[in-house]
Copies of this chain bind each other. A is one copy, B any other.
Amino acid sequence: MDILEHIMMRRSIRSYLDIEVEEEKITQLLQASMAAPTACNNQPWEFIVVNDKEILNKLRNKLTFGKYNAPLAIVVCGNMELAKGGYENYWVQDCSAAMENILLAASGLGLGSIWIGVYPLPSVIKPVREVLNIPEYVIPLGIAYVGYTDENKEPRTQYNEKRVYNQQYATTRKHRARPKNLKHL
């Protein structure tokens, strides 16, 4: 199967079989993740691999939108000590690319996955910090739940040609206000 098929095959999986993910596959997921591009190759990321059932349950119980029964969680974090000096502008993008690589690699390894958003909501960041003992200078971006899937989802693209512009943006709506918090951009 080629990479385009895998990209279409990656669907958010919310039900998993009670089978552990092999250590070798966990390492492959992390290798894929750290092969992502980062601004000036800064690599501001850190990863917490959680497959201890007790800690996973603690984590799940704290997450309103992350109660799925995956046997493995990989928490993708940005380390602000690594992302200093301008790179703090890019850690979210860098870690998002790393996260997407985990999800796609999972598909390639016969696994399902789902991206649980953590950053930028303090109400989600705080409990993840507490359960996983994450220090102040490290920020959890999101959690990849991974495991053997217990649901079948068809591959799909959500291609929508209305979202594509040719050569330049074209609109009759140029004068809509931009959100207040983005006035400077």
Contact = CB atoms under 8 A, between A and B. Distances in A.
Dominant SS among interface residues on chain A: mixed
B173 A135 contact: yes
A125 interface: yes
A47 B165 contact: yes
A71 to B, nearest CB: 13
Contacts of A138: 169
A34 interface: yes
A156 interface: yes
A46 B34 CA distance: 27
Contacts of A46: 163-165, 169
Contacts of A135: 169, 171, 173-176
A128 to B, nearest CB: 10
User: Size class of A's contact patch?
Assistant: 35 or more
Given A93-B142, A104-B104, 9 more contacts: A8-B31, A8-B32, A34-B157, A35-B159, A48-B165, A81-B176, A89-B121, A122-B185, A136-B178
Interface of A: 1-4, 6-8, 10, 12, 27-28, 30-32, 34-37, 39, 41, 43, 45-52, 55, 77, 80-81, 88-90, 92-93, 96-97, 99-101, 103-105, 107-109, 114-115, 117, 119-122, 125, 131-139, 141-142, 156-160, 163-171, 173-179, 181-182, 184-185
22 contacts: A1-B3, A2-B108, A8-B32, A8-B35, A10-B35, A34-B159, A35-B158, A36-B100, A37-B100, A46-B165, A47-B163, A49-B166, A88-B181, A93-B99, A96-B96, A97-B115, A100-B100, A119-B185, A134-B169, A136-B175, A136-B177, A139-B182
